[in-house]
Structure 1
Amino acid sequence: MDWNDLRFFLSVARSGSLTQTAAAMGVSQSTVSRRIGELEASVGMTLFARHATGYFLTDEGREVLRHAEVVEDGILALERGAAGLDKTPTGTVRVATSENLATDLIIPALPVFRERFPGICLELITSNTTANLSRREADIALRVVRPERGNLKVRRVGHMTYSVYGSRDYLDAHPAIPGEPLEGRHIITWDESHAHLPAANWLAQTHPGCKVALVTTSLPTQIAAVRAGLGLAVIPDFLATGDDFVRVVPPEELFSNEVWLVTHADLVASARVRAVSEFLADHVVKTNRDLAG
């Protein structure tokens, strides 16, 4: 049995889609289909029920999935252990974080990093979905939510505050009602798939009846909408730059997040992973005054 066939099987089992698997693994859909067919032929059973809406595991497929995940855990542990043996800071390091931390915190510091570690290639994975470090979806994560499970090394490196902001022109056109800073004003907020985020939670709990002007799926679009004068939004203080941003509700009336640097424990000894971790930690600590508003 080919481990690569199992990799394709695991991806299709988790996504239910040839298209998503093909995109994630950088191959064609026909290649994914062929590899799944080869695996089914090798085990002598049908692992997926094919439907127009996707691929669904059969009973046999669910049993194979259970064993395949055990194999995957062993191989990934071997890869992590081997990666931890390297003593030279060269190679690729995958860093998972949110888009705003990547574009406004990490990327501006990369020229200095490149001068210091020219042999390391960084891959930035930006998503609001948490990357699984145990499955090597990333080597390092910079997060605002502390992970509670997994064989991870977790380090607090910063503190991020939030405020409600509006543009100067919008606030001039919509004067505040004393004691009610959001009353009579519109809000820019997150869609339902991001309702778990702290900003969405705060708005839902403290201002459930607020008038919504725009719903988006990313923080950069909310910042652009505030700048365009569409309404108010909850924004990290370090991103609210420029004279056109005016604080409407201060951070002490909202919430704050710790910033956590997370690495799989098996990779702590890796020279390249350690180099990136230490650089990110030092950089976040140095910029913590900005993060905390």
Structure 2
Amino acid sequence: MDWNDLKYFLEVARGGSLTRAADVLRVSQSTVSRRIAELEARLSTRLFARHQTGYHLTDEGRELLGRAEAVEDNMLAFERGASGLSPGVSGLVRLATSDNLASDLVIPALPRFVARHPQLRLEIVTTTAAVELGRRDADLALRLVRPSHGNLKARRLGAMSYGVYGHRDYLARHPAPADDPLAGRAMITWDEAHAHLPAAQWLAKRAPEAHVVLAVSTLRAQIAAARAGLGLAIIPDFLVTDPDLVRVLAPGDVFSDGVWLVLHADLAASSRVRAVADFLAETVDAARAALAGEA
């Protein structure tokens, strides 16, 4: 059996639709449909029940799912091991990180890295959700939370501090008592889908009764809202470049996150992954003071 057939089966089983599987596999929906039909014909077994709500595993499909995932784990382990055999720094490396770390930290430093390794292609996946390094959604990650499970290697590169900021005009229009600079002021924060993020959790604990004037799904939108004078926002200190954004709490009164470099243990010997890991470590080290709010 072709290993690629199992990829189509697994992605449809996980996503429940041809559309999601096609997006992940970067093929057309018709290709996914055809490959699933061919697999079912080859096995003489219907793996999915087709409904208006999507593709649902049949009893036979559920029986084969665990076995297909075991094959996937073995194939990915083989690929990770093979990637470490090439001595040259070339090929594709997928990096997962947040949008702000990618745009404001990693990408500005990329020109010198590209000049150093012209045969290497970097693909950056920006998301606030944790990606599955084990399933090769990415080869390595730059995260603000240390992973707690998986065959992963994690290295703390530094720390990123946060502050509560407001536009100076907004602060002048909404004075607050000296003992609580948040009192009586509106807050800009993450939407419900991102309530698990450290900034959202800090606000829920520090000011549970705060008046939230705006909830959004990106940090850039929060910064834009604070600059527009809508209220206060919790922002990484190194992203604040507008002199009209004023910190209202002392550094020790907010919080900081560790900046973690994470990669799958099987990829530690890969020359191309090691090259990206070294580049990230150098980049974070060069920005250490700014990330910690000391610059």
Identify the TM-score tier after normalising by the shorter chain: over 0.9
Alignment of 1:9-48 (within 5 A): 9-48=9-48
Aligned mates of 1:49, 1:216 — CA distance in 2 = 37
Q: Which amino acid aligns with 1:266?
A: D
Deviation, structure 1 residue 85: 0.7
Alignment of 1:143-292 (within 5 A): 143-292=143-292
Q: Secondary structure of the residue that 1:249 maps to in structure 2? A: coil
Q: Which amino acid aligns with 1:82?
A: A
Q: Which amino acid aligns with 1:19?
A: T
The equivalent of 1:82 in structure 2 is: 82
Q: Which amino acid aligns with 2:95?
A: V
Residue-by-residue CA offset, 1:244-275 (whole Å, 9 max, x unaligned): 11001233112211111011111111111111
Deviation, structure 1 residue 43: 1.7
Aligned mates of 1:56, 1:114 — CA distance in 2 = 44
Residue-by-residue CA offset, 1:211-254 (whole Å, 9 max, x unaligned): 11111011111111111111111111111112011001233112
Aligned mates of 2:68, 2:93 — CA distance in 1 = 26
The equivalent of 1:54 in structure 2 is: 54
Aligned mates of 2:253, 2:54 — CA distance in 1 = 46
The equivalent of 1:130 in structure 2 is: 130
Residue-by-residue CA offset, 1:179-220 (whole Å, 9 max, x unaligned): 221122111111111111001111111211111111101111
The equivalent of 1:73 in structure 2 is: 73
Aligned mates of 1:54, 1:255 — CA distance in 2 = 43
Aligned mates of 1:279, 1:292 — CA distance in 2 = 19
Deviation, structure 1 residue 281: 0.6
The percentage of aligned residue pairs carrying the same residue is 61
Q: Which amino acid aligns with 1:75?
A: M
Structure 1, gaps ≥5 residues long: none
Q: In angstroms, what is the RMSD of aligned CA positions?
A: 1.1
TM-score between both structures, scaled by the size of structure 2: 0.96
Aligned mates of 1:227, 1:9 — CA distance in 2 = 47
Q: Which amino acid aligns with 1:158?
A: G
Aligned mates of 1:178, 1:153 — CA distance in 2 = 45
For the pair 1:97 / 2:92, whether they are aligned, the reply is no
Aligned mates of 1:204, 1:17 — CA distance in 2 = 36
Q: Which amino acid aligns with 2:256?
A: S
Q: Which amino acid aligns with 2:112?
A: V
Deviation, structure 1 residue 163: 0.9
Structure 2, gaps ≥5 residues long: none
Runs of 4+ in 1 over 6 A off after TM superposition: none
Q: Which amino acid aligns with 2:67?
A: H
TM-score between both structures, scaled by the size of structure 1: 0.97
Aligned mates of 1:57, 1:253 — CA distance in 2 = 50
Aligned mates of 2:48, 2:251 — CA distance in 1 = 51
Q: Secondary structure of the residue that 1:62 maps to in structure 2? A: helix
Residue-by-residue CA offset, 1:74-125 (whole Å, 9 max, x unaligned): 1101110110111111111110000010001000100111111111111000
Aligned mates of 1:92, 1:28 — CA distance in 2 = 22
